[in-house]
Amino acid sequence: MEKETLHCKVTVRIMTDRKAFGPGVAEILTGIRKYHSLRGAARQMGMSYTKAWTIIREAEKIWGFSLTQRHAGGKEGGSSVLTEPARIVLERYEAMSRELHELAEQKFQQYFNEEELRKLRK
Amino acid sequence: MEKETLHCKVTVRIMTDRKAFGPGVAEILTGIRKYHSLRGAARQMGMSYTKAWTIIREAEKIWGFSLTQRHAGGKEGGSSVLTEPARIVLERYEAMSRELHELAEQKFQQYFNEEELRKLRK
């Protein structure tokens, strides 16, 4: 049996019956913030441009505002930046995820610390 | 554009580099608790018996203890019950999920209430 340490992971999704925001959208937007390009963001994730584009468009339909703004021109056919509301949503999503991650760590240490695991295993 | 309400959803996973516990394992164990049968639990989820069995065995390897106990005999080839440690892990996982869900709801209402969404949309 392997002996890697148990830990917990929390995923936050904002949705209607369809997904408006989750780790995937967050990663694409973070990539755009970094590379100023949807193509660059998709490439970094090993995702096709078309798939990244579709995910962003679907999310925009649910939020009711644009997440990215395109500027024409340049070597790779223009650049993209986050819109102001996208920047705010991303920051709040990151803050929520961080706060939930902290509570999860705390609860995990309470319920599943080494001592508790030893009791469960015996 | 559809007008379903935005809400948030939190998923908790307990893992090493492999998954030890998450919504899938929790649903199978909840099914076993209800139906006293892995086959019954899998059927309820529209999952094959073999897949459910594999998920449980993989999780057991990581935890280092058995999650289910089989009793031979009966019409459908025996019954299964949760072991005591499985019952405890399931209860603590459910408690963690509930507490995280409550914090997520609270943060979501703070960051993405109707007033905030209106500001983002204008």
Tell me which CATH code domain B16-121 carries.
1.10.10.10
CB A104 within 8 A of CB A8: yes
Residue pLDDT, tens place only, B53-75: 999 999 999 999 999 998 887 66
A107 touches chain B (CB under 8 A): yes
- Four-point Cα dihedral B105, B110, B113, B116, nearest 10: -150
> Which residues from A are below 8 Å from B9, CB to CB?
12-15
- CB A96: neighbour CB atoms within 10 A? 24
The Cα angle at residue A60 between residues B102 and B99, in degrees rounded to 5: 10
Contact yes or no for B14 and A112 at CB 8 A: yes
Residue pLDDT, tens place only, A59-90: 999 999 999 998 887 666 678 999 999 999 99
Contact yes or no for A6 and B62 at CB 8 A: yes
B7 touches chain A (CB under 8 A): yes
Nearest to B99 among A8, A16, A103 (CB): A103
Contact yes or no for A13 and B16 at CB 8 A: no
Whole-model pTM? 0.88
Tell me which CATH code domain A14-121 carries.
1.10.10.10
